[in-house]
């Protein structure tokens, strides 16, 4: 019976090592996806921000739309 126990232990150990390798592979895959996704996400967010700025007339046009020194806010005019 001792031979059977050793065989079972070896199978369990091999299964444990395989699970460890699979887990490490999944972890590395997630890390790679996160790293590559960061640049893509940043570019996508920048593009969306520019589109929204164009829709609402903000961003580069903000300096043109800001109040000048001779135009005081309404509460200062009193």
Global confidence as pTM = 0.44
Element (H, E) at 67: none
Do residues 67 and 73 make contact, with C-beta atoms less than 8 angstroms apart? Answer: yes
> What's the pLDDT band for 77 if we cut at 50, 70, 90?
low
pLDDT tens track for 3-50: 889 999 999 999 999 999 999 999 999 998 888 776 677 788 899 899
Do residues 50 and 59 make contact, with C-beta atoms less than 8 angstroms apart? Answer: yes
Counting runs of H as helices and runs of E as strands, what totals does the chain give?
2, 0
Q: Of 33, 59, 64, whose CA–CA distance to 46 is shortest?
A: 59
In angstroms, what is the C-alpha Rg of the chain? 31
pLDDT tens track for 39-67: 677 788 899 899 888 888 876 544 545 55
Alpha-carbon distance values, 45 to 8, 25, 31, 37, 55 (Å): 54, 29, 21, 12, 15
């Amino acid at each position: 019976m001792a031979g059977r126990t050793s065989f079972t232990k070896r199978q369990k150990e091999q299964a444990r090592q395989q699970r460890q390798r699979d887990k490490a592979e999944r972890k590395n895959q997630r890390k790679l996806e996160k790293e590559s996704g960061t640049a893509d996400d940043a570019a996508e967010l920048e593009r969306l921000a520019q589109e929204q700025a164009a829709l609402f007339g903000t961003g580069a046009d903000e300096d043109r739309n800001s109040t000048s020194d001779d135009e005081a806010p309404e509460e200062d005019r009193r």
